[in-house]
Structure 1
Amino acid sequence: MAGLVLLNVMVVLALPACTSPSSPAELTPTLSFKSIAGSRIAMQDGIPVPTFSYQPRRRLDLTGKWRVEVMAMDDDLSLTPRSSALKQIVADAAGRQQSVYDDTHWPASDVPGSFNPPPSPTGNGAWYRKDFDVPVEWQNQTVTLKFGAANYIADVWLNGHYLGYHEGGSTPFAFDASDAVIAGDVNTVAIRIDNPPWGTRQDIVPWGLTDWWNYGGLTQPVWLEASASIYAARADIVPHLDGADVTVTLHQRRGTAASVQVGLDILPAAVDPTNLTNPDPRSLVPPDAGPITSQRLDAGVIGSDATSQVHASFALANADLWSPESPALYVLRVQVFWEERPVDQLFESFGLRRAVVDARSPRVLLNGNAVAYAGVALHDERVYPGINGQPRGGPVTRPDDILILLEKANATNIQLIRADHHPGNPLLLMLADRLGYAIWEEIPLYHYTPDTFAIAMDRGIPQQMLAEMDLRDMNHPSVLFHGLANESTGGPEREQALATLHNLDRSVDGTRLTGQAAYGNQPDDTTSSPLDVAGYTMYYGVFYQPDASTGTAQALQIAHKTFPRKPIVALEYGRWSDSRSDQQEQRRILVDTYAALAPELASNPSGYVAGAIWWTLDDYWTQRPGVRIEHFGLFTPNGDPRPAGLQAAELFSGGAGQGARQKIVSSATGAPIQPAFEGKLLLGYLAYALTVALAIPAVILLGLLARQRRRRVTVG
């Protein structure tokens, strides 16, 4: 948040003296990309990065009560390579990682949740343990242990077997647990989590002063999935306005080499109040609905401990496109056949949409239409019901909590949501897909400096976080923007880091637009050059310059002059409302700032502003020194709108968030494009395009000839 501009400068100057390690951590990222038979496949901990969406497989949900012991952790040890650190970590564990350890005296806490909820942080780490029964039917199955997120460094044991580690607080990870799980018996998972305090070291992400609460622990769900030895690890859909490309990643953990086939079906989908919060994509498919189009692929022979990919493309005519105003969805069904016998299924929901920068003007186009979104920022934090006028606090863990936030967004006619300063909560993205909200999500490169950019990028943690976010959210049509940094400093160092991250984002995903949140009081900052849009935090009349309207208008003109062909996004504007006397001043900042933004919105013929995001929807807990709660919300913690919230509803045009009420049933006519294998997809599209291109003139010519014949008959 730009409210930290001056404070951040002072802290940055002071931190080098107090940050602990003399050299950056040497713990390496666990995600990498491997070239297999011409395909670039994301691998982590020896397996392809799987899907983390709900799947119709054997599943053990470990949500609920866990035994948790909060304690101090050795941050230096946690950030040391496991080849040299694991022995000491095990020694310090004193048996906590073993199944036989007695944890009955530990307090029970909810997972997902946090070991350090506000208002008083306790400890920098914790041990988590849970006993659970595994059905005997899981014998000889491939078992994957999946984590939605663990903040910040997690080391994982199952029945005393060390599975591995993960660094990064907001993105998912998984381990092959097949050799460690005991079918038909009680199993024990033990997790050591270290969450180094922000501001104590420069080699973690984020590293320094932040304006939100640092929730440590298992902040998102934990579960196990069981499948056959050969299974579909993930399915990635690249949407087009007239079709989709599909890539299915297959993995065989252990077994006899065998011939594998893959069946693909694109199915219609419908969202209504009965299935809105159901995570199973199958719930979106109307009863008795048949496939719109299908394809059967030969994946060849896949051997033991092998990974492979198959590729397919579909042409879809008269398809329903996804947008915030009309969030049409489809469902992909993947079936895996081993020697013609069905052994696995995978489902993903997706939408057809295309977000690009207009080649002729500085506008963002969604499905060919210029966008000018009214937006708001959300924190991944429970707000309602408030406690003594304060936000409730704690990570958001239920879809109902998200729906409360989105109802407030809808009441203020919001179309675009900035999902805090880190990857969005998967529940938010699921509901944004279904209800119809555009999403800006980002990695937490927050208040980075030339030195900390160099340290982080050399370690590779931002790259891993971005790749994990991209892979997790590949099939969410609501995610239109990927943010790569927030209010950071440095010229060449920052621009080089942003260029590296932009190129990585393009190679992994390529369907989203990249940007950063640069300081708005430096509108001539050129470091957004490698990115698709130029984003700024705009706090004129609040932290710099006396007049919000004049200052914002002047800054927009300078930014547009700096990037005449690049859309501008105002990623933050707002003001606190600490008391009743502040409420009218908060409303005035909204009115005056928006008055400067409105003439430049891309909905106007010469406009170039693609979105303007108010900071924030609700009040939130912070670890900013001297402040417990930031009162920037359009709503109070009790859910009542402040004057600025009422004013926003009058200023903004709305139109988003109505997906469940619209009851859209997607439809199309489709056909697979042959050939479907990588390297030949372009030929298939060219053939399809050529057919359409030749058909249209032929129809016109036939029409003209018929018209001429009719004329001749009439005249003659």
Structure 2
Amino acid sequence: MRPIRRRSMLQAAALTPIAASMVAGAAPAAAAPALDAAAAAGSGNQPPPHGDREPAGTELRTIAGTGVVFQYDAVVPAFDGWRTHEPTRSYRDLDRTWRFRFDPDGVGESEEWQGAGHDDSGWDSIAVPSAWDLKDTPGFGGYDGSRFGEGTAFADGYAWYRTSISVPGDWAARHVRLAFLAVNYRADVWLNGQHLGAHEGGYAPFALPTGDAALRPGRVNVIAVRVHRLASWEDYTQPSPSITDPYAIPWKPVDYWPYAGITRSVWLEAVPTVTVAKVLLAAADGELEVRAVVENRRDEAFTGRVVLDAGKGTGAKPVSVPVDVPAGGVAVTRIQTGIPDAPAWSAERPAVLTATTKLLAASGTSLVDQLSDRYGMRTVEISDAKLLVNGKPAFLKALNWHEETGAHGRAMTRTDYDRELGHVLATNSNAVRNTVYTRHPYAYDWTDAHGVYVMDDIDNMWVNAAQEKLQTEQYGLSRAMALTMAWNNHNHPSVVCWCLQNESEIDGNGAPIYRAWLADMKAAVKAVDLTARPVTWASHTTNDPAFDIADIVGFNEYFGYFYGKNEDLGPAIDAVHARYPDKPIMITENGSWSFFGHHGPETEVGTEEWQAMNFRSHWAQVAERKDYVAGYFFWVLKDYKTRAGYNQEYNGISEMGALAFDGTTKRVVYHNIKDAEL
């Protein structure tokens, strides 16, 4: 039997909930053995240069009463090109083998590795999408930590990607953008040697306009991407100070694995110079509200019509409305139409519809552009301390989950998603929390189609007060993440609430910094979301001084594990309810650990029976309070990899899952979750 050691064994009954939860994400518990010398050296220990604002220039502009999100001085477009090719658009798929080279000394730009004529024939190769962590790391997905610290999983700093692609000559008459679903952490992108822009944040899609000067229609074009990942520690071989970047989100090592590289799909997309950039869809009670965002890249004004087809099975006829878009400008067309036959979307009957928006020339006969998107008809609201979906109380029996597999890291395949998310239904759960970053679009399509509620989430994990102030008053990356989360995932009916942060610092004296940070992000989300979904966050304390700002009171709790006793949960919930009687409460995290296959009495710490007993105790206390507790999120669906500095003897795998890291081996608690009823 292996020794029972888990996260420094913080059996800290003497700690307060606040102190214990903060300690849980603090310094590493043990030294990390061997690391390739090159991986810890050079550019990985130094943050990349930052400007005064986050590099995408994310901003919210109000157009015709609609909040529209811009990056790189263009509307953030719909990112459906990974699966849907519109007939009015042209695409070049860039999921392929790219040239690849680490740049530990950060010399690539000065040596012009980005140049169109640079000779990369001697470079290595890598699949896109993938994580460079798995390029050459022995035993990455196993529990044997004897080689922890070896391989590309510990290669930080800069790495370069290059590929070439021919594009048709007629693309000269189109607006072309280069779309990425995710690059972790920072990406700098060049086209034919010209810098298109940079992006920060490892999980948000972004699209860079190529511009007339950079693109070479009818010729071969060279794309170069420089990716930077910050090192986690100064020296993985010994306990040492962590590496931090006060501008970055997250800004220090956090409790998951920061898979690096181009981890999701990439493509070039050529659209008409007047294009339907984005369509926001909000359907409820037999009505569909539409905001079609039309972007004009021409030097002259455009006059035409927007035609909406609400989709098969809705009973709606196409609706046509005029649109005028100024030269180089953006217009928002608002359409309201009845959908009398549309079935409601619910967890029990997840009816997904497809709307098509067409842009016609002034004659009304010539198709200029079109954009289709999926949606569902449902309402979400808060009333009398309950979360109501379609007017009925909903309880989220839920799982936190990380988007990763041992074989593919965070570059999961559709088969991976089907298998992993299938466990949500297999445990009779009805919800997931996208802990603590947005997911690949396929994950939202899956939850839409299978009737699984989603608490969507962003990267604000363990943010300190100084950084909260920096993000709110200057850099704006937290706000950008909140805006793009709500913008990109707006039309998914499965998304029923937005989560803004996880266990971040609360400053003293009334918490003015913390409150301003949260209020800023909440206002951003509300300015975009036509459906007014509730906003929450995963606080580390039941005494959060900003809960009055939240629509749902959400907190992580580990009674009986990090602090206190299991039976302390019920009184803590009651105290919160007494302070906020009109707000529903959600347990955004709760769980404990066990070695899979380690059995014994439920009083023995670390047995599967102990882990299961802890769950049953917490679940029972929640179930007794379903009148004002609207959700319980178990931590966590599956064991997960972490570079937070603990469990290195087990290859950096946190053993808190209902499943082992293989995604197949079930612990006792898995079956307890399946059997749990309100």
- The TM-score normalised by the length of structure 1 is 0.79
Q: Determine the C-alpha separation between the residues in 1 that align with 2:73 and 2:557.
A: 45
Question: How far apart in 2 are the matches of 1:159 and 1:10?
Answer: 44
Distance in 1 (alpha carbons) for counterparts of 2:76 and 2:354: 21
**1:27-68: CA deviations, max 9, x gaps?**
434111235566543222122111112341311110121111
Are 1:527 and 2:546 counterparts? yes
Match of 2:222 in 1: 188
Residue of structure 1 in register with 2:675 after alignment: 650
Counterpart of 1:414 in structure 2 is: 429
Instruction: Find out whether 1:450 has 2:461 as its counterpart.
Output: no
8 Å CA contact retained: 1:574, 1:590: yes
Alpha carbons of 1:438 and 1:22: their partners in 2 closer, same or farther (altered >3 Å)?
closer
Q: Which residue of 2 aligns with 1:207?
A: 251
How far, CA to CA, are the matches of 1:428 and 1:234 in structure 2? 20
Q: CA deviation at 1:409?
A: 1.5
Which of 264, 268, 286 is the equivalent residue of 1:220? 264
- 1:239 is paired with a residue whose SS is strand
Q: 1:629 offset after TM fit, Å?
A: 0.3
Name the counterpart of 1:608: 628
Structure 1: where are the runs of 5+ without partners?
12-18, 75-88, 270-289, 383-390, 602-606, 654-716
Give secondary structure in 1 for the equivalent of 2:519: helix
1:21 Cα offset (Å): 8.4
Task: Identify which of 112, 116, 119 aligns with 1:95.
Answer: 112
Q: 2:528 aligns with which of 497, 508, 511?
A: 508
Q: Give the structure 1 partner of residue 143 of structure 2.
A: none
Which residue is 2:54 aligned to?
28
Which of 417, 431, 434 does residue 402 from structure 1 map onto? 417
- CA shift, 1:141, in A, is 2.0
Deviations 1:157-197 (A, max 9, x none): 11122211122221111122252322332211111122223
Match of 1:471 among 465, 468, 487: 487
Q: How does 1:74-93 map to 2 (within 5 A)?
A: 92-93=109-110
How many Å separate the matches in 2 of 1:24 and 1:150?
A: 17
Partner residue in 2 for 1:151:
184
Contact (CA 8 Å) 2:461, 2:504: kept in 1 or not? yes
The one of 357, 363, 378 equivalent to 2:386 is 363
CA contact (8 A) 1:540 1:552 kept: yes
Whole-Å Cα distance in 2 between the matches of residues 448 and 488 of structure 1? Answer: 5
Matches of 1:258 and 1:448, distance apart in 2: 45
1:249 aligns with 2:293: yes
Q: Is this contact kept in 1: 2:315–2:339, CA < 8 A?
A: no
AA matched with 2:59: S
How many residues align? The count is 592
Provide the C-alpha distance between the structure 2 equivalents of 1:303 and 1:551, rounded to a whole number of angstroms: 61
Paired with 2:461 and 2:518, the residues of 1 have a C-alpha distance of: 13
Pick closer, same or farther for the CA change 1:308–1:510 going to 2, 3 Å: closer
Q: 2:624 is matched with which residue? A: 599
- Please give the residue correspondences for 1:120-131 in structure 2 after superposition, counting only pairs within 5 Å: 120-131=153-164
Quickly say closer, same or farther: Cα 1:21–1:213, change in 2 above 3 A.
closer
Separation in structure 1 between the aligned mates of residue 49 and residue 169 of structure 2, nearest angstrom:
49
Matched, 1:489 2:489: no
Tell me which residue corresponds to 2:94: 62
Pick from 569, 582, 585 the counterpart of residue 552 of structure 1.
569
Change (3 A) 1:401 1:95: same
Contact 1:443 1:483 in 2 (8 A): yes
Pairing 1:210-289 to 2, within 5 Å after superposition: 210-254=254-298, 256-268=300-312
What SS class does the counterpart of residue 531 from structure 1 fall into?
Answer: coil
Letter in 1 for 2:342: A
Residues 211, 40 of structure 1: alpha-carbon distance in 2 compared, 3 angstrom cutoff = closer
Check the 8 A contact 1:265/1:291 in 2, yes or no.
Answer: no
Residues 103-122 of structure 1 aligned to structure 2 (within 5 Å): 103-117=120-134, 119=140, 120-122=153-155
> Which structure is higher in helix share?
1
Kept in 2: contact 1:524–1:558 (CA 8 A): no
DSSP 3-state at the match of 1:293 = coil
SS in 1 for 2:576: helix
**Inter-CA distance 242–526: structure 2 relative to 1 (3 Å threshold):** farther
How far residue 291 of structure 1 moved from its aligned partner, in angstroms, is 6.6
Correspondence 1:71 to 2:103: yes
After superposition, the C-alpha distances for 1:129-150 in whole angstroms (9 at most, x for unaligned) are 1112223443422212111121
Contact 2:66 2:528 in 1 (8 A): no
Q: Quick one: structure 1 residues 37 and 371, their matched pair in 2 at CA, closer, same or farther if it must change by over 3 Å?
A: closer
2:12 aligned partner: none
Check conservation: 1:24, 1:202, Cα contact below 8 A: no
Q: Which residue of 2 aligns with 1:589?
A: 614
Distance 1:151 1:368 in 2: 40
What secondary structure is seen at the aligned counterpart in 1 of 2:623?
helix
2:401 alignment partner in structure 1: 378
CA distance in 1, matches of 2:351, 2:110: 50
**SS of the residue aligned with 1:103?**
coil
- CA drift at 1:589: 1.0
Give the letter aligned to residue 479 of structure 1.
Answer: V
CA distance in 2, matches of 1:138, 1:35: 31
* Residue of structure 1 aligned with 2:476, choices 448, 451, 460: 460
Deviations 1:411-440 (A, max 9, x none): 111101011211122111111111110001
User: Identity across aligned pairs (percent)?
Assistant: 27
Kindly provide the amino acid, as one letter, of the partner of residue 517 in structure 2: A
Which TM-score applies when normalising by structure 2? 0.83
Whether the aligned pair in 2 keeps the contact of 1:268 and 1:329 (CA below 8 Å) is no
Partner of 1:170: 203
Q: Is the 8 A contact 2:591 2:635 kept in 1?
A: yes
Matches of 2:62 and 2:522, distance apart in 1: 21
The worse-fitting range, judged by mean Cα deviation, of 116-125 and 247-256 is: 116-125
The letter for the 2-side match of 1:61 is D
SS of the residue 1:268 aligns to:
coil
Could you tell me how far 1:543 is from its partner in structure 2?
Answer: 0.9
> Match for 1:566 among 583, 598, 604?
583
1:317 counterpart SS class: coil
1:593 partner letter: H
Q: What's the offset of the Cα at 1:258?
A: 3.8
Corresponding residue number in structure 2 for 1:438: 453
Partners of 2:105 and 2:188 in 1: CA distance? 12
**What corresponds to 1:16 in structure 2?**
none
Q: Does 1:634 align with 2:658?
A: yes
Q: 2:539 aligns with which of 512, 515, 518?
A: 518
Note closer, same or farther for the CA distance 1:575–1:7 as it changes in structure 2 (3 Å cut). Answer: closer
Point out the more displaced range, 159-168 or 25-34. 25-34
Residue 51, structure 1, aligned to residue 78, structure 2: yes
Cα separation, 1, equivalents of 2:452 and 2:129: 25
Matched residue, 1:6: 23
The CA deviation at 1:475 is: 0.7
Structure 1 pair 299–190 and aligned structure 2 pair: CA distance change class (3 A): same
User: What amino acid does structure 2 have at the position aligned with 1:633?
Assistant: G
Change (3 A) 1:194 1:21: closer
Counterpart of 1:326 in structure 2 is: 349
Contact 2:21 2:562 in 1 (8 A): no
Aligned to 2:237: none
